[in-house]
Amino acid sequence: MIDLHCHLLPGIDDGARDLDQALRLARMAVADGITHCVATPHIHPGRYANSLDSITEVFTAFKAVLMKEGIPLQLGIAAEIRLSEEILGMVATQQVPFLGNWEGDKVLLLELPHSHVPPGVEQLIRWLQKQKIRPMIAHPERNKDVLRDFRKVLPLARLGCLFQLTAGAVAGDFGEGPKQRARELLERDLVTALATDAHHEVRRPPVLEKGRRAAEAIVGESKSWELVRQNPARIAASHFVIANHVRRHSA
């Protein structure tokens, strides 16, 4: 399986606090059947002042340790980018770490505020699309506006956004509300990928298989594998040579 959203890089955001924890998370991911992972530390102006350069430095060091420790987890980097005006400047200066590509567009993992879907987000999405950038909305099933009213997500779907569900939410680990919204998104065929959004061994572990099985009960086995293997491989092909191999043999 391929995980497109996780916070394994040590000491860079609210994910792994240090190298030891990062290695424990990496080993847990491998034990769950995750072979490839795109690390997506937060870029959140005013809170996590990460940049492409700072993320790359930590990534390079951690990747070397994974190899030294013999942990068979292939690692790529992008970022979970919080919705803000700063995105415009980051795109202009090529400081956006993209998740990959989809239908000729670059894919940006976009995080909305947890509390609501802000007014103006549709204008930003249209602007990004003019730059050939496709937003993938991170964990929409946990957004409080969407929890109150599922219809809040539909304008984003009509604009062509991709959607990434948290595997744990599909399995019910975040409560009944996010589980129900995840089900509705799956039933409407709006989901492109499941991901772990891993931060911690217990509170938010790097586990995909449990969510895949929960998704299988909703959309069937074949579709559930698309969400953790074929679609992520297609998006992340620029990060992993093997992703192209996976895609060709699972079409």
Domains in the chain and their CATH numbers?
Answer: 2-249 (3.20.20.140)
Which residues pair with residue 164 across a beta bridge? 138, 193
Question: How confident is the model over 178-192, as a mean pLDDT?
Answer: 98
pLDDT of residue 240: 86
Say how many C-beta atoms besides its own lie within 10 A of residue 2's C-beta: 27
In tens, the pLDDT along 3-36 reads 999 999 999 999 999 999 999 999 999 999 999 9
What distances in angstroms separate CA 213 from CA 29, 194, 210, 223, 224, one per listed residue?
16, 11, 5, 11, 7
C-alpha 142/C-alpha 89 separation (Å) is: 28
- Print burial letters for 36-53: b (CB count within 10 Å at least 16), e (below 16): bbbbbbbbbeeebebebe
Q: What is the DSSP letter of 16?
A: -
pTM higher than 0.75: yes
